[in-house]
Amino acid sequence: MIAIPAVDLREGACVQLVGGSYAEERVRLGNPLDVVRSWEHYGFHRLHLVDLDAATGRGSNLSLIRDILSDVNVPVQVGGGVRSDERVEELLSAGAASVIVGTRAIEERDWLAELAQRHPGQIVVACDVRERRVTTRGWAHTLPVDILDVVEELNGLPLGGLLVTAVHKEGQLRGTDLPLMEDVAESSQFPVFASGGVASIEDLRALEHRGLAGAVIGMALYTGAMDPVVVAGEFGE
């Protein structure tokens, strides 16, 4: 299993939010390029880059994303407000290893199917989940849809993976939702990546034991709750 540091962009800065709430910003670092370089330096071999402003219709960090992609030497998965073919093509052309699609992919399955067929293995579907229900539009809308029903509908598509974020655990450093992640991994035909609440090396080992392909880590790395040297050493690739 691979550990993937999260680089969440807001207003040109790298931030970390608590519980998916834009009013609860705990970490803000002014130079995301330096942040990305530090994760590479520690030995991580993949990064998770998200434009929070684009995800919520507040703006765009596309220029900064291009700068980051041109600077890094490891694969980067990029998401946040990706809702058009043009943006997918733009990010892949800029150097993204894979593109994360969420809201439109969940709401328009025909579009997702065509996109996945056109870019096999390069499209990762983000399912943000709050108590087993799927949320969209930057966590603003909760749908009456169970995550396992979504997984069943996605199985068979040539996806690069499924990113499941336990929004109710996000940024709280209290551990992830292991039953949720285990159920999704068992149901999925493609790699599943966990996000939300990862707070210790034991959390990572528990996720690996349950068949997860990777885990995106944010708050725990930024606050020092987890030692990046230790994490990268055991789960760097």
- Which CATH number do you get for residue 213? 3.20.20.70
Domains of the chain: total: 1
Q: What is the pTM of this model?
A: 0.92
Question: Measured between alpha carbons, how far is 192 from 21 in angstroms, rounded to an integer?
Answer: 24
Q: Tokens for 72?
A: 């890094």
Contact 34, 72 (CB under 8 A): no
List the domain range (segments joined by +) for residue 228: 2-235
Give me the tens of pLDDT residue by residue for the chain, a chain 237 residues long: 999 999 999 999 999 887 666 777 788 988 999 999 999 999 999 999 999 999 888 999 999 999 999 999 999 999 998 999 999 999 999 999 999 998 899 889 999 999 999 999 999 999 988 878 787 655 555 656 889 999 999 999 999 999 998 876 665 567 889 999 999 999 999 999 999 889 999 999 999 999 999 999 999 999 999 999 999 999 987
Catalytic center residues:
8, 128
The per-type count for the chain, helices as H runs and strands as E runs, is 11, 12
